[in-house]
Amino acid sequence: MIFLKIVKKFITHHHIKILLIDEGNVYIWGKGHYGIMGTGSIFNSLAPVKNQFLESLRKKNPKERVIKIECADDYTAGLTSNGNIYAWGINNQGQLGTGGGSGKDYTDTEKFPTLVVKSNPAVKYVDFSCGENTMLIKDELGNLYRTGLKVDYVPGIIELSKTVKPKSFFCGRSFYCMMDGKL
């Protein structure tokens, strides 16, 4: 029973609700269009459904569990303790960073969590932010990447001044915001 677990994060968005439970399990319910629930289905669910794919990752490697979850419009993404990001849902502008997406105005989707591409597989992702049709990603070396907007179908590095070291960042509908902690 999920209600006896410790909830690490609860997200309510336009069409879905997401629970991240302390041991890394993800429960999603709501409108299932575009595969946003990551269950392989496009059907709606009135009750929380455990994402079996993400649970299977944890069973294969107990150290790989979801530690952060976010969603934007019609897609969802989760960061694991091993430094991987999995994304699912609409991918019509390459926002998932999985190498898919056509850039056309028709709907490409990933109905199951799909690994976000890394330019260097040895480097871990440590944070991310979902925005409409785009995602920002930070790696352990401090590099920032963006996906989507019909420009980057895999994470493309954002060239910043050597003096700019963003500590926090987020995506909006059509903008990025980065803060370095200085006023």
In the predicted structure, residue 7 carries a pLDDT above the cut 60: yes
On the question of pLDDT at 104 being above 70, the answer is no
Most confident of 11-25, 114-128, 161-175: 114-128
Residue 169 has pLDDT above 80, yes or no: yes
3-state helix, strand, coil in the chain (%, to 5): 10, 45, 50
Looking at residue 123, its amino acid is V
Which band of pLDDT confidence, cut at 50, 70 and 90, is reported for residue 83?
very high
- Cα angle value 108/21/90 (rounded, 5°): 5
